[in-house]
Structure 1
Amino acid sequence: MKHRILMSLLFISSALVSCQDKKAESNKNVTAITESSAGLQFNQDVNAMLKKQLEYGKPSFDNPYLYSEKDLEVTTPILNQLLLDNGYKSLSNEEFNNKIKQIFNRIIDKNSSNKFLYVNFIDKCDKELHFFPNNAENNGIFVVKNQNFITDLYPLPAIIDYQKTYSETAREENSAPGSYKDASGNEVKKYLWKDVSNLKEQRKKNLQTLIARNLYLFNENKAQYKWLTLNDSYFMDALVKTFGYTQDTDLLSWVIERTKFDKKDPSDYGKLFWIKDCDENIRLHTNTFKVLQKLYLPNDSSENRFILDNIKSYLEYLGNNDNPESKVLKEAEKIKIMANLAYFAEQYKYNPSYNEGTKMMGRLRFFLGDSSKEILQKNNYFNLPKFKEWWDNADYDEYFVEECEYNGTCGPDNQPMNITEWRKQHPKK
């Protein structure tokens, strides 16, 4: 018995080591960073900006360092070389511009003299340049034109080992005062970069983020995808939900599977299906429906079995005209979204492999008034092939959900008519 236990422990230990080795092997391409040769070489412009940044210390609410375009300019050669040293293949201007349009829906003006384009993750329609480090109130990336990569605004100490390359300037920081007096004469504490305990780890994370984002988006390097979903989830999520980038099926599946309908934030679920662009037109995410069809399987025990329940909840949310979406969507736009949701779900009513009882098309019929139904007809049911047939077949379902769910008149002593009884009173026209 002892021998068997010992052998079992050895087997488990061996399996764990093997698993860890495989994980390390799979992450090998995304964890090893080659230091930028540009960052290891002394540069006078970098040194001058570094002195300024070190003097202010790490920005904080009490001690805001006013970054400018120059702060970004001095970092771009370092970041560009870092990317090249780590295998980044720079695209041509035309290729890069097309990618930026495809991913962020932004157009790079070839005639503009601006060196940078700012993509705002909080307000995607705000095109002003915001030279602030990312925080809760400001989050975005810069598109570096002509050098063709994207980056956050990084302070120099957060991307280079300044104490090694700029040792003399670093020594000056050692004698820098730890506080300063503001305009009111109050003493304000500084957070000097040299005192940041995890600066080395922050620097590594910043550089890995830069490399992974650019290799993934512009070189289609799938080895970076796993790292980004684990370590840069806000960015990856925003690609789909904020900017409507749905061309990467793996990314779209990942976002779909981690997004559930939440009564506290119902509009978040809708971001899987549509987006309103800055020109005030909506884009419907047809790729979402394609992925959902692959994820929704009969007899599935995973969370994906609730896909239609989530869609039903969102359809009901849209059906309530008091929701925020009803204030930003034109009536025809809202009906188009609701029609596509109902159409997707209704297919499973006719598939014997599924025990589908959400009666989604009947719900849609219940929510739409006469003017909405006219919009459906005028738009030829949004060219959805079987929509008219399924719509006509859902007249009993409309009666059932109205009686039992929305009017609440069903109960032990008051059962709705079955379809045979109901059809006698409501024959097909």
Structure 2
Amino acid sequence: MKNKYKLLLILLTNGLVFSQTIAKKGLAEQVHSNVSTILKKQLKYGKPSFDNPYQYSDKDLEVTVPILNQLLLDNGYKAISDEEFSNKIKQIFNRIIDKNSTSKFLYINLIDKCDKDLNFFPNNAENNGVFVVKNQNFITDLYPLPLIIDYQKTYSEAAQEENSASKNYKDANGNEVKKYLWKDMSNLREQRKKNIQTLVARNLYLFNDNKAQYKWLTLNDSYFMEALVKTFGYTQDIDLLKWVIERTKFDKKDPSDYGKLFWIKQCDGKLKMHADTFKLLQKLYIPNDPSENRFIIDNIKSYLEFLGRDKSTDLTRKEKVKVMSNLAYFAEQYNYDKRFNDDNKMMARLRYFLNNTDFEILKENNYFNLPKFKEWWDNADYDAYYVGECEYEGNCGPGYQPLDYTEWRKKHPKK
């Protein structure tokens, strides 16, 4: 009797294994068929371009998901739980994965973080973003199939059709336009390798906390890495934040870029200050530093002056006062630290640019809870007069000199 049960168990087990094998084979065949169908369309129309009549859609992304998932697994990626993945997406990109949504994807626009519309056109100069693949818990670009698989080896039938494809097509206006076939791309193999490295490195770094990918990403994927901090306000990774700070200098041709180190406007319209930036700057700005970090206060000064003069910023007046106050407060501490030979007069500069209404904002908001702000503000009254006269109004010269401290104080006694 025992032998009969043992035989039955073996038959059932073998039957289950056989059924699973058949199911896996059927799934693999279905994936292969789906890829072949989309691949032929992509090869027919060639590389994406403005004139290209081929419209990429969710189908083009869906067929890549099994391929990309396998590439990740083959390269050591460990899929994390749904909850952990959702928390990471919220922490890094400030986006929420809606469990009740039927959509398989979430689109994160690297140019406009508040644009949540799905954009299935492959990334280019005017469009750049990543997709969150909900059911597999990884992120990816939308890659045309030729940019992730060696289709000439694995899909020979499609490759043969491409060999005989026309090199022209008609655009929406009926004009004959030249198209660029994938097979004619001279660096296709290198681009494919770069795409796979990017996919793997981003996911290992962000979701598996694999710091070994950090250096490769900063060298080869700098736009994405900068966007994490400057576009989305992800400042918790101190190594990344330090890298972004040290490559970002105030540039009068693009002055607002420097401000991205300190604040962002969230999609709900609220201002978010980057406390992590100020904490790290305090570690980077040290006495007698020969590195480029010795210019940190100079860069802050230039940005403060830009904010003081700028009329087109998207900050409200209260928000601007808050940003400027935090910048001035950070720099002013070095005027009181004997280890630094510093006389940046940043609080004085702040006083020059703020008016009485702004000061009321400061008082109403308890000086934004900056402990020594009021004391340093009061101490800077003469310096505000001096920098205003000499630096900003341009009145100092052979024919005119501002009052010295004693003379000025007689006219403006301490209250």
- The alignment's TM-score, normalised by the length of structure 2, stands at 0.90
- Deviation track 1:300-333 (CA, whole Å, cap 9, x = no partner) reads 22221111111111111111152x21xx212111
Partner of 1:82: 71
Structure 1: stretches of 5+ with no match in the other structure: 1-37
Separation in structure 2 between the aligned mates of residue 54 and residue 406 of structure 1, nearest angstrom: 62
Separation in structure 2 between the aligned mates of residue 251 and residue 304 of structure 1, nearest angstrom: 16
Partner of 2:331: 345
- Deviation track 1:12-40 (CA, whole Å, cap 9, x = no partner) reads xxxxxxxxxxxxxxxxxxxxxxxxxx999
TM-superposed deviation, 1:281: 0.3
- Deviation track 1:35-66 (CA, whole Å, cap 9, x = no partner) reads xxx99997111111111111111112232421
- Deviation track 1:206-227 (CA, whole Å, cap 9, x = no partner) reads 0000011111111111111111
Contact kept in structure 1, 2:53 and 2:171, CA below 8 Å? no
Partner of 1:174: 163
* Alpha-carbon distance change, 64 to 304 in structure 1, aligned in 2, over 3 angstroms: farther
Separation in structure 1 between the aligned mates of residue 354 and residue 215 of structure 2, nearest angstrom: 43
TM-superposed deviation, 1:113: 0.4
Matched residue SS, 2:264: strand
Separation in structure 2 between the aligned mates of residue 375 and residue 321 of structure 1, nearest angstrom: 19
Partner of 2:275: 286
What is the aligned residue count? 389
Separation in structure 1 between the aligned mates of residue 277 and residue 29 of structure 2, nearest angstrom: 45
TM-superposed deviation, 1:147: 0.6
Q: Identity rate of aligned residues, in percent?
A: 76
Moved more, 404-413 or 302-311: 404-413
Partner of 2:151: 162
TM-superposed deviation, 1:428: 2.3
Contact kept in structure 1, 2:51 and 2:171, CA below 8 Å? no
Partner of 1:303: 292
1:365 to 327, 351, 357: 351
Moved more, 149-158 or 168-177: 168-177
Matched residue SS, 1:43: helix
Cα RMSD (Å): 1.7
Separation in structure 2 between the aligned mates of residue 380 and residue 194 of structure 1, nearest angstrom: 65
Partner of 2:384: 398
Separation in structure 2 between the aligned mates of residue 39 and residue 336 of structure 1, nearest angstrom: 58
Partner of 1:151: 140
- The alignment's TM-score, normalised by the length of structure 1, stands at 0.87
- Summarize the alignment of residues 113-152 of structure 1 with structure 2, pairs less than 5 Å apart: 113-152=102-141
Structure 2: stretches of 5+ with no match in the other structure: 1-26
Contact kept in structure 2, 1:40 and 1:165, CA below 8 Å? no
Moved more, 164-173 or 365-374: 164-173
Moved more, 212-221 or 399-408: 399-408
Separation in structure 1 between the aligned mates of residue 383 and residue 173 of structure 2, nearest angstrom: 70
Separation in structure 2 between the aligned mates of residue 411 and residue 280 of structure 1, nearest angstrom: 46
Separation in structure 1 between the aligned mates of residue 83 and residue 375 of structure 2, nearest angstrom: 46
Separation in structure 2 between the aligned mates of residue 332 and residue 183 of structure 1, nearest angstrom: 50
Contact kept in structure 1, 2:52 and 2:171, CA below 8 Å? no
Separation in structure 2 between the aligned mates of residue 144 and residue 84 of structure 1, nearest angstrom: 15
Contact kept in structure 1, 2:105 and 2:134, CA below 8 Å? yes
Separation in structure 2 between the aligned mates of residue 240 and residue 42 of structure 1, nearest angstrom: 37
- Summarize the alignment of residues 12-91 of structure 1 with structure 2, pairs less than 5 Å apart: 43-91=32-80
Paired AA for residue 295 in structure 1: L
Matched residue SS, 1:188: strand
- Deviation track 1:380-410 (CA, whole Å, cap 9, x = no partner) reads 1111111111111111111111121122222
* Alpha-carbon distance change, 64 to 139 in structure 1, aligned in 2, over 3 angstroms: farther
